[in-house]
């Protein structure tokens, strides 16, 4: 059986701008049927989402899953706190790291893997303003280099 491709539904782009990603891991998520149908349609927003550990369980907060149109009474609150599924020892390790080193757990992307909804969680360290400026300057410099390389590369068909 060949590996089926992973279908990415949502990516938290702002997390890559605001945080250094130290480590990434995968977790399942506890959802209701109408939420899964809504996620399949791509009606999901991770913009303000973050993870917390409470009572030995991992939760995602602030993730918006739009109500499913045909869901009527079965729809749940779009911003409800959802439980993430990981092994207990992994959760305890994350709890220790976040307490000791002051890191944050941020959901980076949501995707389908073998028909199941998965969440990629990042163990993140916040960027300071000068880090963000440095990244922007590096990105602009790379873009300028690409632009000049493209201008200097002459196609044989143009004759210039």
- pTM for the model: 0.75
Q: Rounded to the nearest 5 degrees, what angle is found at the Cα of 9, between the Cα atoms of 82 and 57?
A: 20
pLDDT of residue 88: 93
- The Cα–Cα gap between 3 and 58 comes to 28
Mean pLDDT by 10 residues, the chain (160 residues): 74 87 91 84 87 91 83 74 92 90 91 90 86 87 89 63
What is the domain partition of the chain in residue ranges? Answer: 7-127
Domain 7-127 has CATH 1.10.8.350: no
Note the pLDDT of residue 3.
Answer: 64
State the burial class of residue 156 (Cβ atoms within 10 Å of its Cβ: 0-12, 13-18, 19+).
exposed
pLDDT at 7: 85
């Amino acid at each position: 059986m060949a590996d089926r491709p992973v279908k990415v539904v949502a990516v938290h782009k702002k997390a890559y701008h605001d945080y250094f990603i130290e480590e990434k891991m995968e977790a399942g998520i506890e959802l209701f049927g109408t939420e899964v149908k809504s996620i399949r349609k791509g009606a999901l927003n991770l913009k303000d989402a973050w993870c917390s550990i409470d009572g030995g369980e991992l939760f995602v907060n602030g993730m918006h899953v739009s109500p499913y149109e045909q869901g009527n009474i079965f729809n749940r609150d779009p911003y409800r706190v959802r439980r993430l599924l990981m092994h207990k020892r992994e959760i305890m390790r994350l709890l220790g790291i976040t307490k000791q080193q002051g890191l944050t757990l941020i959901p980076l992307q949501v995707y389908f893997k073998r028909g199941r909804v998965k969440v990629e969680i990042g163990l993140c360290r916040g960027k300071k303003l000068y880090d963000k400026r440095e990244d922007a300057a590096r990105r602009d410099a790379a873009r300028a280099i690409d632009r000049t390389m493209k201008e200097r590369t002459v196609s044989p068909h143009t004759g210039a």
